[in-house]
């Protein structure tokens, strides 16, 4: 009898697959509009890897690489494979390192709204990567 994923892991597999698709296409995005009343700079197309926003050729290479990793991770969750546990913890470390390095190497937000956005984004990124890793660890015996 095949173990069931459950609702949470099913939802996470879908969200991770969507994140993979987004990362694959990030290098081909376009710049957002500049809002005069905002301190936020235009959104530059590219992907942040190890705290550095990559554009151009490096983004075209790194975006799909990160995307493929996430697709494989999502498939591992969907099929309840043992390798998904390793992928989950690798992704947790990657996200935490990426957030930390990005914050260290980029200027601090200028407004309170930007600071709140950065804090909420960071918390969500950590929670949404750590949660499936913990869930898979608890369900280790169910993985094949």
- pLDDT category of residue 11 using cuts at 50, 70 and 90: very high
- For the chain, how many structural domains are there in total? 1
Residue 82 lies in a domain: yes
Q: Please provide the average confidence, as pLDDT, over all residues in the chain.
A: 85
- pLDDT category of residue 92 using cuts at 50, 70 and 90: very high
For the cut 60, the answer to whether the pLDDT of residue 35 exceeds it is: no
- pLDDT category of residue 114 using cuts at 50, 70 and 90: confident
- pLDDT category of residue 39 using cuts at 50, 70 and 90: low
Q: Domain limits at 94?
A: 7-33+41-142
The pTM of the full predicted model, rounded to 2 decimals, is: 0.82
From the list 60, 1, 64, 2, the residue with the least C-alpha distance to 28 is 60
Residue 2 lies in a domain: no
Between 69 and 56, the higher pLDDT residue: 69
Cα–Cα separations (whole angstroms), residue 20 to 2, 4, 16, 64:
26, 23, 6, 8
Residue 109 lies in a domain: yes
């Amino acid at each position: 009898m095949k173990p069931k994923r459950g609702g949470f892991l099913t939802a996470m597999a879908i969200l991770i697959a969507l994140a993979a698709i987004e990362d694959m296409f990030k290098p081909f995005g376009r710049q957002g509009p500049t809002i005069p009343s905002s301190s936020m700079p235009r959104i530059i197309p590219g992907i942040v890897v190890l705290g550095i926003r990559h554009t151009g050729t490096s983004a075209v290479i790194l975006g799909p690489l990160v995307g493929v990793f996430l697709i494989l991770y999502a498939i591992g969750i969907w099929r309840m494979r043992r390798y998904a546990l390793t992928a989950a913890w690798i992704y947790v470390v990657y996200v935490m390192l990426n957030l930390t390095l990005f914050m260290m190497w980029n200027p601090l937000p200028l407004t309170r709204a930007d600071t709140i956005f950065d804090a909420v984004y960071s918390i969500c990124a950590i929670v949404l990567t750590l949660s499936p890793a913990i869930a898979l660890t608890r369900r280790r015996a169910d993985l094949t």
